[in-house]
């Protein structure tokens, strides 16, 4: 299966362009591309979003917001945008004066997503907010309200909605060719070796459920085509309580859907897992690994899934830019991010209540 994968038609030069100098984009065609400013130049911006913005067709990197001006200036040189487009977190209001920047992509820890997304909206910029949308539903509501008030668009960094392998899940859910998916299981977990904001409730909103488990929740909603009505959940005993002071280390949960479908989910910072399976009356689909940036594999009752690999982040950002330009709805709107945080809040409420069934709030 692997050998037959290739990049999609619109990205044939993706691999080559990844290594191309930024000056390649200093051409008149760039004027048609929407300008993106990344907020937070950590691992995801550096490893995925920045490189993806070197191969995007509808948008380009036009600025950054960072705590380190030196780092920002290095990005300006690398990506070919002016030094005046390097901002600090406390100068985000000045983005309002920068006509090169159309979209602000918030890539800071979730506890800061609301402040940074609202600052971007107030500066009149469209917003992409990384997952999870925020620590709480209340914060999600504040982001949604700010974007509405400013008249700007909002989307969430749910890259898997732009991956052809995951499109197979949505297609089978839509066509019901094997029947409705009634029994689902999934897990996403890794061992956290060194302490980071991901183990701090204030910045992460929770533990691995916020960071990794959200992918399983997302996939179950894709496969069922619905939002769960209720959840039950249990936190597993901590093996390293000194590491995970105010967040869970491992948690398992069950989502219940109105049609009787269910999904058993698991996430942890103490072991490895990366899979999703959905079963219907006349067939099934299984992804393993399921949630990586690339190299995911899938099979259905018919056999292995052949698919053309894409740069998920490039397709995601290009799609949002096209949605803005063509005034079309995004398939990953802020409301979807809020929905997932509401499901997660219900999972935490159930775990805190010893596994009691908790309805998913509106």
The residues of the shown chain that bind ligand NAD, judged by CB under 6 A, are 40-45, 67, 107-110, 112, 130-131, 157, 159, 197, 203, 211
- Name the DSSP letter for residue 294: S
Instruction: For residue 316, give every residue at least 6 positions away whose Cβ sits within 8 Å of its Cβ, in sequence order, or none.
Output: 157, 158, 159, 161, 162, 332
Between helix 214-224 and helix 334-352 the angle, nearest 10°, is 110
- Nearest distance from C-beta of residue 111 to ligand NAD, angstroms: 8
Tokens, residue 178: 């094997």
Nearer to ligand NAD, 181 or 320 (CB): 320
Nearer to ligand NAD, 41 or 344 (CB): 41
Q: Which residues pair with 233 in a beta bridge?
A: 253
- Nearest distance from C-beta of residue 103 to ligand NAD, angstroms: 16
Does residue 335 have a cis peptide bond before it, meaning omega lies within 30 degrees of 0? no
- Nearest distance from C-beta of residue 200 to ligand NAD, angstroms: 9
Measured CA to CA, the distance from residue 303 to residue 177 in angstroms comes to 15
Nearer to ligand NAD, 210 or 261 (CB): 210
Q: Do 226 and 182 form a contact (C-beta atoms < 8 A)? A: no
Measured CA to CA, the distance from residue 245 to residue 199 in angstroms comes to 8
Residue closest to ligand NAD (Cβ): 42
Q: Do 231 and 255 form a contact (C-beta atoms < 8 A)? A: yes
Handedness of CA 35, 39, 45, 46 (dihedral sign): positive
Nearer to ligand NAD, 54 or 159 (CB): 159
- Nearest distance from C-beta of residue 62 to ligand NAD, angstroms: 18
Tokens, residue 150: 């400013």
- Nearest distance from C-beta of residue 211 to ligand NAD, angstroms: 6
Nearer to ligand NAD, 45 or 56 (CB): 45
- Nearest distance from C-beta of residue 334 to ligand NAD, angstroms: 14
Nearer to ligand NAD, 38 or 324 (CB): 38
């Amino acid at each position: 299966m692997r050998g037959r994968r290739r990049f999609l038609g619109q990205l044939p030069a993706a691999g080559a362009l990844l290594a191309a100098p930024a000056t390649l984009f200093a051409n008149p065609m760039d004027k048609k591309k929407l300008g993106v400013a990344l907020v937070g130049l950590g691992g995801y911006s550096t490893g995925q979003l920045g490189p993806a913005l070197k191969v995007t067709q509808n948008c380009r990197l036009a600025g950054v917001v960072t705590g380190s001006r030196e780092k920002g200036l290095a990005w300006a040189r690398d990506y070919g945008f002016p030094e005046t487009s390097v901002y600090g977190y406390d100068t985000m209001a000045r983005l309002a004066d920068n006509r090169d920047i159309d979209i602000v992509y918030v890539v800071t820890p979730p506890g800061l997503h609301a402040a940074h997304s609202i600052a971007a909206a107030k500066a009149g910029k469209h917003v992409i907010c990384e997952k999870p949308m925020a620590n709480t539903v209340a914060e999600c509501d504040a982001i949604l309200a700010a974007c509405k008030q400013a008249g700007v668009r909002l989307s969430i960094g749910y890259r898997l909605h732009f991956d052809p392998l995951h499109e197979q899940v949505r297609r089978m859910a839509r066509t019901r060719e094997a029947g409705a998916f009634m029994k689902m299981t999934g897990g996403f977990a890794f061992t956290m070796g060194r302490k980071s904001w991901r183990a701090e409730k204030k910045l992460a909103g929770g533990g691995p459920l916020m960071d990794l488990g959200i992918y399983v929740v997302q996939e179950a909603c894709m496969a069922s085509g619905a939002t769960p009505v209720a959840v039950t959940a249990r936190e597993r005993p901590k093996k390293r309580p000194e590491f995970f002071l105010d967040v869970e280390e491992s948690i398992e949960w069950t989502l219940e859907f109105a049609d009787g479908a269910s999904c058993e989910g698991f996430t942890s910072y103490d072991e490895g897992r990366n899979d999703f399976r959905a079963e219907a009356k006349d067939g099934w689909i299984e992804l393993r690994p399921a949630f990586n940036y690339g190299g995911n594999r899938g099979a259905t009752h018919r056999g292995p899934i052949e698919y053309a690999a894409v740069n998920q982040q490039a397709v995601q950002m290009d799609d949002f830019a096209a949605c803005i330009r063509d005034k079309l709805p995004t398939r990953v709107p802020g409301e979807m991010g809020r929905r997932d945080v509401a499901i997660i809040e219900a999972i935490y409420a159930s775990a805190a209540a010893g596994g009691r069934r908790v309805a998913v709030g509106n």
